[in-house]
Amino acid sequence: MTRNNRRAWGGWGPLLLAPALLLTTACSLDEILEVDTPGRVRDSALEDPELAQTLANSVIGDVECSWNQYAAGASIHSDEWMPASGNLTMREWGQRKIFNNHSAHQGRCGEWGFPMYTPLNTARFQADDIFKRLGEFDAAAVPDQTALQATVRTWGAFPIIALGEGFCSTVLSEDEDGDGVSDFGPELTPAEANARAEVKFTEALALATPGSQTANMAYVGRARARLNQGDYAGALADAQMVPDGFIAVATRDGSQASRYNYQFERINDPSPDFNNHGSITPSFRDLTVDGSGEHTQNDGTPDPRVSVTTLNRLSADFATIHYFHDKANSRSDPVTVASYKEAQLFIAEASAQLNDLPTAIDVINDLHTAAGLPTWAGSTDQATVLAHVQDERKRALFVEGGHRLNDMLRFDVPFLGEPGSDQPTGVDQTGAEYGNVTCFQLPLVESLNNPNIGG
């Protein structure tokens, strides 16, 4: 099946749940006015050019929080984790039961579970608004005005990537009349959302200093959006611009719930404190590479990119042994947003799709060498190379950035509970039934209130 066939289209559509007022890091304006928190500002400050940097930082903070929640939620929804929670809501995240009418959709940044739709839409709406406000300041009062706009535009496009990759459809409402309130937008397909993200990244690149951190981040983002649309030549050109060693992360710390690394806090924490609500599936344990560079399991050199272990403790359901990884070891571990590694994998996939198999194989072998793994002899068969690239993504991008969920939807990989998965009979390891959610469904309240959708 094609990617769109895998998406659970239904009779609903989106309405922006996110609050329309500004600089929220998932809170209302009343909360902003009541709490003196660094990074949050009063409404009057939105017109103060001296706080231009603070406005840009607030956008980054919103995106960081929403991306952190999406990355963790997409990971437990994928086949990387199996559900292992005694809490109903947390089990439903892992059992593919977050349906369009689930209350979890209305959660905000930092709240229980992995609420993502509202935080993602809040972040990208705030980014659009602050971008406009920065442009209205007197350039003399904000010497770095162009750079700040480039930064805001770049960070603000990544939530659109998440909405385009992980959701069946979405809406990107905008403040069309300038009153600070989002106006209803139309329902967009994943391809249309990715096209919108591409436009944002293109605008950012026109403003960013060539070779800067912002430009590199925008190139990774645009390459990802283009790859999602099947523009392999465009994705290749962008990914080739990203220098070795580049990485952009969402910073995390232990100061408050909205700042925790949720991969660690909700599912990966190995301590016996009931925060291990999932366990890594058998398909991601004991991954190896044999002497000829073929990807294997428990047969060859251990693949350090998927380092999984267990302390033989039970997970939060008191029934499942908890397996965890080494990519999120504390609340303060950063979350990858864009990286050179991703860009290289975009090059490999785009090259293979364009039938430039030697380039794809070279990228794979560079990644193997960097990880201390045997190189792959390769193949002259395009389908074989594409399959190897797909599995390379599975390993190199393990639990990062929602990539696995996107690949499952793009490549028709069976979800847990489906034939061909680790749990093929429709039930998990405790006998509980799986739901049928593949891409994340849009909240029912969206379609009931958006006049452009019609219920």
Sequential DSSP letters for 139-189: TTT-TTHHHHHHHHHHHHHHHHHHHHHHBS-B---B-TTSSSSPBP---B-
Q: What b/e readout covers 359-384, taking b as 16+ CB neighbours within 10 angstroms? A: ebbbbbbebbeeeebbbbebeeeeee
- Residues 352-397: pLDDT tens digits? 999 999 999 999 999 999 999 999 999 999 999 999 999 999 999 9
Q: How many DSSP H helices and E strands does the chain contain?
A: 15, 9
Phi, psi values for residue 400, rounded to 5°: -110, 130
Please give the tally of structural domains in the chain.
1
Query: What pTM does this model have?
Result: 0.90
Phi, psi values for residue 303, rounded to 5°: -85, 110
Percent of the chain with pLDDT over 70: 88
What is the bridge-based pairing of β-strands 287-289 and 278-280? unpaired
Phi, psi values for residue 433, rounded to 5°: -75, 145
Cβ contact 218:256 at 8 Å = no
Q: What pLDDT, on the 0 to 100 scale, is given for residue 275?
A: 86
Phi, psi values for residue 346, rounded to 5°: -65, -40
* Half-sphere exposure (Cβ direction) of 79: Cα atoms closer than 13 Å: 23
- Let me know if residue 198 belongs to a domain: yes
Distances in Å between the Cα of 285 and the Cα atoms of 169, 302, 325, 401, 416 are: 33, 10, 10, 20, 16
- Let me know if residue 330 belongs to a domain: no
Dump strand ranges (E) for 174-330: 247-250, 278-280, 287-289, 295-297, 301-302, 308-314, 321-325
- Let me know if residue 229 belongs to a domain: yes
Q: Is the pLDDT of residue 28 over 60?
A: no
- Let me know if residue 379 belongs to a domain: no
- Let me know if residue 130 belongs to a domain: yes
| d(C-alpha 331, C-alpha 263), whole Å | 9
For residue 64, what pLDDT band results from cuts at 50, 70 and 90? Answer: very high
Percent of the chain with pLDDT over 90: 79
Identity of the residue numbered 61: G
- Let me know if residue 152 belongs to a domain: yes
Collapsed DSSP state (helix, strand, coil) of residue 249: strand
- Let me know if residue 307 belongs to a domain: no
- Let me know if residue 333 belongs to a domain: no
What is the mean pLDDT of the segment spanning 242-250? 98
| d(C-alpha 326, C-alpha 171), whole Å | 35
Two tokens, residue 302: 């251990």
**Residue 303, strand partner residues:** none
State whether the Cα torsion 199-412-428-325 is positive or negative: negative
- Residues 6 or more apart whose CB falls under 8 angstroms from that of 219 comprise 201, 205, 238, 239, 241, 242, 343
- Rounded to the nearest integer, the mean pLDDT of the chain is 89
* Residue-number span of the structural domain to which 7 is assigned: 3-255+401-449
Instruction: Spell out the alpha helix ranges (H) of 7-139.
Output: 29-34, 52-77, 88-94, 117-136
Q: Is the pLDDT of residue 13 over 80?
A: no
Q: Worst-scoring range by mean pLDDT, 43-57, 130-144, 254-268?
A: 43-57
- Residues 131-175: pLDDT tens digits? 999 999 999 999 999 999 999 999 999 999 999 999 999 988 776
